[in-house]
Amino acid sequence: MVAACEGRDVTLVLGNALPQIGDHTLRVYAAMIRSLDQMVEKVLSGKRRYRIAVAWAHDDNTLHAVKKAVDEGIAEAILIGTESEIIKNCSRAGIMTGIFTIVESADEVSAAADAVKMVKSGQADIVMKGLVSTDKFLKAVMDKENGLMLPGAVLSYVCALQLPEYHKLLFITDTAVIPFPTLEQKIAMAEYAIEMTSRFGIEKPKIALIGASEKPSRHFESSAHYETMKKLAAEGRISDCIMDGPLDVFLACDSKSVEIKGVKTPVDGDADILLFPSLESSNPFYKGLMLFAGGELGGLIRGTEKPVILMSRSESERSKFYCIALACLMANN
């Protein structure tokens, strides 16, 4: 029903269900951003261009994504790298370089450092990874003197995933940064995801703490973490959400599976957020959905002063554009 509401008057879609649903729920439905294109529309409605510093902007997907952001009117782009290489790649891709500011940098390490410094100094609002390797890019972001880390913060990653067979956006964490998160890091991951979903109009997100089974096990450290997290959420010590786990993905995202298994869970197959126990479980999960299920995403590093766009070099042009739009949404304080 929610998917059917996109782009239409909610009252026309829900019809006779209105008295049962109530005015507040209707307002929530109307306010929710349920697709990545709706997210772009939200950013466009702000009528502001955000300045993006792109580190080692040498690959075609990044160049096309940044060009689209400029053409759409949400960004101004500063491309940092070897100027001759950037011009050559733009020419080959049919992109006019006059729409960008190009800053010469000797190598990818220098380009990453220069991009981060631009954001740190206020010359840019967002930093984006180009063809630079992830470890070199993150080293610049995490630099103690010139980096963008918030004091004492956990660095983590949250992405909004759009899937043809799911009725709304699905937020996933952590798919890029923390190999085996501790309890404290998992709590930070949950908080970052809750903060992001709030920008999408989700007032009380349903968080599924993902495991191989719904049954806690002493063989999995995450089981003990999940019990503590559920207690903290129930006590209001984690931001307002509905949290349950461990849950497998079926119970998190498929109401029919909940009914078949007879499991009572407040998430009820309608998860907004999937919090994974490790990087080696979350990363293959999201990449499989991107490769085999037609998924698109927008994702960001969290725990930084300003938005940081970090994506795999093989991600699609469209997903990189959505990451830019998400960064603009999160930058709008």
Region of poorest pLDDT, from 2-11, 25-34, 39-48: 2-11
Tell me whether strands 273-275 and 242-247 are parallel, antiparallel or unpaired.
unpaired
Same domain flag for 95 and 135: yes
Examine the domain organization and report whether 102 and 128 are in the same domain.
Answer: yes
Element spanning 134, H or E:
helix 134-141
pLDDT beyond 70 at 171: yes
The CATH number linked to 113 is: 3.40.50.10950
Using DSSP's 3-state secondary structure scheme, residue 106 falls into: coil
Assign 158 to helix, strand or coil: strand
Supply the pLDDT for residue 23.
Answer: 53
**DSSP tag of 31:** H
Residue 56 lies in a domain: yes
Mean pLDDT for the stretch of residues 260-274: 97
Task: Indicate if 179 and 277 belong to the same structural domain.
Answer: yes
Domain-located, residue 38: no
The C-alpha angle 300, 51, 73, rounded to 5 degrees, equals 95
Please give the residue range of the domain that contains residue 329. 46-149+304-333
- Using CA atoms, how far residue 290 sits from 163, 251, 257, 302, in Å, is 9, 21, 23, 22
Q: Classify residue 1: in a domain, yes or no.
A: no
Mean pLDDT for 293-318 is: 92
What is the predicted pLDDT for the residue at 3?
Answer: 39
Could you tell me what percent of the chain has a pLDDT over 70? 91
Tell me, yes or no, whether 203 and 296 share the same domain: yes
Q: Which residues contact 216 (CB under 8 A, 6 or more apart)?
A: 223, 224, 226, 227, 246
Tell whether 3 is covered by a domain.
Answer: no
Confidence of residue 300 (pLDDT cuts 50, 70, 90): very high
Site of tokens 């450290």: 221
Number of domains observed in the structure of the chain: 2
How many angstroms separate the Cα of 34 from the Cα of each of 5, 75, 160, 185? 9, 23, 10, 28
Alpha carbons 206 and 231: distance in angstroms, whole number: 15
Distance CA 32, CA 36 (A): 11
Residue 237 shares a structural domain with residue 309 = no
pLDDT category at 27 given cuts 50, 70, 90 is low
**What percentage of the chain exceeds 90 in pLDDT?**
85
pLDDT in tens, 67-107: 999 999 999 999 999 999 999 999 999 999 999 999 999 99
* Residue type present at position 20: Q
CATH number of the domain residue 241 falls in = 3.40.718.10
Give strand pairing partners of 247: 210
The more confident residue out of 176 and 333 is 176
Backbone angles phi, psi at 82, to 5 degrees: -80, 115
Do residues 323 and 331 make contact, with C-beta atoms less than 8 angstroms apart?
no
20 has pLDDT over 70: no
> Are 123 and 207 in a shared domain?
no
Q: Give backbone dihedrals phi and psi of 297, rounded to 5 degrees, phi first.
A: -145, 165
Same domain, 189 and 225: yes
Q: Let me know if residue 308 belongs to a domain.
A: yes
β-partners of residue 103 are 80
pLDDT confidence of residue 312: 81
Output the DSSP codes for 39-104: HHHHHHHT--PEEEEEET--SHHHHHHHHHHHHHTSEEEEEEE-HHHHHHHHHHHT--GGGSEEEE
